[in-house]
Chain A
């Protein structure tokens, strides 16, 4: 009986193409559920790390995904629901907003509504790089429940320019963001729920 190949052996085999698996290993893997599981996992890893540069789907494709997602009655791990965040308030247009929740003096605050909660964004001049901005957000479900451990992705012209991971209270931060127009995606990997801001203008008061 052939011994189980190690993960690094499988990595080399998969990197070189599964067809390069030596026959004896291939036969073993076909009959060993543990090795088959490791091989499939390794193939997903290779597929994921070869996904670079990350590219945004087209506008039409995103709209179609959103339409399809809205038809899904229940979100499971394999199903993904998208919703678009709708702007409720902008501190530059409505100065009264700027004073809520102890915002910084030069903060540009934006409040968005999502399908089942809301998103607060605070954009302030960067303390790291002059002329750039710090974007801090918090995604909350109805009842002020934070969505922890989310993934936030900042896109510009179809390219991922920055990524951030939220903390356990749903707060994420992008440091040193060039002023301009972006798309912002926020993902909750555990539920498959995603929220997108189609157009986010990054500029800070006084910056």
Chain B
């Protein structure tokens, strides 16, 4: 990766983190687990940690991603 690419990626990473910070607590925690856990947690793991049913993880995740997209779009990402 070139230095320029590295700088751009660093800035993008910051923007994503700033976007996450603007989400409500549940969405922030869910997407942080989704984005930064390796390996990705199962729906059961997410449900347990966030105190929700496994069946609601998928729809919640979709709503949280949509919120994040709106926020990041507003930041030019």
CB-CB contacts below 8 Å: A49-90 with B: 49, 51-52, 54-58, 61-62, 64-65, 68, 77, 80
What is the 8 Å Cβ interface bit string for chain A, positions 135-173, against chain B (1 contact, 0 not)? 000000000000000010100000010010100000000
User: Is B16 an interface residue when CB atoms closer than 8 A count as contact?
Assistant: yes
Let me know if A189 and B75 touch, CB within 8 A: yes
Q: Who on chain B is nearest to A190 by CB?
A: B76
Contact among A11, A61, A163 with B3 in the assembled complex (CB-CB below 8 Å)? A61
Contact among A52, A57, A58 with B7 in the assembled complex (CB-CB below 8 Å)? A57
Interface residue stretch chosen among A18-26, A38-46, A92-100, A116-124: A38-46
Contact among A38, A51, A61, A62 with B10 in the assembled complex (CB-CB below 8 Å)? A51
Residue of A8, A15, A64, A165 contacting most chain B CB atoms (<10 Å): A8
Let me know if B12 and A7 touch, CB within 8 A: no
Q: Who on chain A is nearest to B32 by CB?
A: A49
Contact among B2, B11, B15, B18 with A61 in the assembled complex (CB-CB below 8 Å)? B2
Chain A interface size, under 10 / 10 to 19 / 20 to 34 / 35 or more: 35 or more
Contact among B11, B13, B18, B34 with A52 in the assembled complex (CB-CB below 8 Å)? B13
Residue of B7, B12, B77 contacting most chain A CB atoms (<10 Å): B7
With A44-B12, A49-B35, A165-B18 known as contacts, the answer to whether A80 contacts B7 (CB < 8 A) is yes
Let me know if B62 and A41 touch, CB within 8 A: no
With A7-B62, A11-B65, A49-B35 known as contacts, the answer to whether A77 contacts B76 (CB < 8 A) is yes
Shortest C-beta distance, B37 to chain A (Å), equals 11
Let me know if B65 and A7 touch, CB within 8 A: yes
CB-CB contacts below 8 Å: B52-77 with A: 58, 61-62, 65-66, 68-69, 72-73, 75-77
Contact among B6, B7, B9, B36 with A47 in the assembled complex (CB-CB below 8 Å)? B9
User: Is A187 an interface residue when CB atoms closer than 8 A count as contact?
Assistant: yes
Let me know if B9 and A58 touch, CB within 8 A: no
In the A-B complex, the 4 residue pairs with the smallest Cβ-Cβ separation, listed nearest first, are: A61-B3, A57-B3, A48-B12, A7-B65
11 A-B contact pairs sorted by A residue (CB < 8 Å): A8-B61, A11-B61, A45-B68, A45-B72, A51-B9, A51-B12, A52-B36, A58-B3, A77-B76, A80-B7, A151-B11
Residues of B participating in the A interface, judged by any CB pair closer than 8 Å? 2-4, 6-18, 34-36, 40, 58, 61-62, 65-66, 68-69, 72-73, 75-77
Given contacts A62-B3, A80-B7, A189-B75, list 6 more A-B pairs with CB under 8 A.
A51-B10, A55-B6, A56-B6, A151-B11, A153-B10, A163-B14
